[in-house]
Structures are given as C-alpha cells and as structure tokens.
Chains A and B, each alone.
Chain A
Amino acid sequence: MTAQHFSKAYLYRRIVVAKIFIDNNYNKAIDVSEIANEACFSKYHFLRLFKASYGKTPYQYLTMLRIEEAKKQLGKEGAMVSSVCFDLNFESVTSFTKLFKKHNGITPTDYINQQENQKENIRKEPLSFIPNCFAENFGWTK
C-alpha cells in the first residue's frame, strides 16, 4: 500500500470514528467542536470532510438521528413531548416542535395521536396493513 493510500485510509477511518461517535452519543449535549476533536480534526476541515463523505453536515446528521429517535420514543405509550425533547437534548420544546415538523410534516403531538390510532388499528385488524397479495400468497389470511 502506498503512502498516499495509507494516508487516505487513515483519513476515512477518522471520519468514520466521528460518525460513530455521533451515532453513539446523539442523545447527549455534544457539539461539532467536540466531535471534530474526537476525530483529531480542526473544526473547518472536519465540517468539509464530513459533508463530502455523508452528504450532510455533522449538525444535520445529528439532528436526523435525534428526530428518528424522537419518533421512536413518541410512539411509546404515555410519551410526552417535553420529556422526549429534553431527553434528546433539544434546546426547547418550541425548537424541537419546529424541527420535528420540518422533518416529518406534522407536530410531535399530532404524531403521538397518529401513532396511537395506528397501533389501535393494527391491534384490531393487522391484515389491513399488509398488501393482500402477500397475505394470501403466504397463507396469513387463514
């Protein structure tokens, strides 16, 4: 392996370390400087490399993970918007609601209601959520 190959591979490994750091710590109060430090990059260099590798800035990626986890938590029984918001280290309920709606098209409160209705409907008629061609062909209708 040439020196150039080695240094490129090492660079990618550091970017991956940063991404995995975000994957494992998205629910904590982390910022871009901390993530850049984790991967031994300067902040500017890190921002540029991360965006080139993943198509998103570290902040956009972190927000996406937090919103995905928020959806999981809001789908659980007894979920409260404020608890989920602060558990995932969003700044405020207002900013969380705005971000959530931007990503999902509905507010967290409406999402909770939507999930509760869907769960109830799945409980009553699970097959109505499965294309009939699969249900029939695989004998799930019996």
Chain B
Amino acid sequence: MISKLSHSSIYVLDQQSAKDFYVNKLGFTVEMEIPIGENAFWLTVSPKDQKEIEITLMPISAGGMFDSETAIKLSDLVKKGVFGFGVFECVDINATYTELVDKGVVFTKKPTKEFYGTEALFKDDSGNWFSLVQRG
C-alpha cells in the first residue's frame, strides 16, 4: 500500500540559479545537496512547514536516459513554460503574493477568486509554472 509521496522532481535549466530561486525567493530549505558529477548535484528542497516532501531540482543534461537531442528538446519545453509541476498553498495569498512580487517572482495570474479558493500563477527561474492557492 502506498503510504505517501516523499519526492517530486522538477526539471531546471541551472541548478544553482534554481536553488537561489527556491531558497531565497520562495523561502524553501535545502535538504540534500550531493555532488554527483561535473556541475551536477542531487539537490532537494522542501517548504519550511513540509519537510516530509522533498522537491528534487533535476538538471537537464545529456547522458543516461537523455541523449543530446532529448536534452535540448526538454530544455526548450521547460523554457517555453510547458510544465506545471503542482500547487502550492499559503495561509494568506495577498501577503504571500505581495512578498513574492517584491522579491522578483514573475506572476502570470494575479490572485483571483476561484471555486476552490483564491489562486495566483507564477513561474520559477527556468519557466516551470505553479499554482499558488489560499483555500476557502
């Protein structure tokens, strides 16, 4: 029986830039940072109040299951903003939105009332997009 989700992966164009974004802008904490090759790390981050889930910031590079062509295609798709990796929640979306905008996070949708709560959409530094929701 599956009991929980422990890791989720996000493809990023540059791991150090992504680390700066998730830690210094979104306020996440680095859980693991293990060098695994030339300029590549096993790099995971977690929201401060949810340590049991680690988000793996995956590098895109040729080798293993990606040949060069696939790595280039995947990078292009990430840059285009094709991937939406999930929904983040917050206690108060207006406070969180104000802070993140001040920190330079790019929003594609301002806080808007939906049937499930109030939602905004933002992008990370690679182009991946996320929903930010305040429930209720």
Contact = CB atoms under 8 A, between A and B. Distances in A.
Interface in A100-142: 122, 126-127, 129-131, 134-140
B99 A131 contact: no
B65 interface: yes
A13 B98 contact: yes
B102 A16 contact: yes
A123 B56 CA distance: 20
A12 interface: yes
Nearest to B66: A138
Interface of B: 7, 29, 32, 34-37, 40, 42, 48, 56, 58, 63-66, 91-92, 94-95, 98-99, 102
A136 to B, nearest CB: 7
A54 B91 contact: yes
Given A16-B99, A129-B34, A8 B48 contact: no
Q: Is the interface of A mostly helix, strand, loop or mixed?
A: helix
B92 A126 contact: no
Contact of B34 (A9, A53, A130, A136): A130
A64 B48 contact: yes
Given A126-B36, A130-B42, A68 B95 contact: no
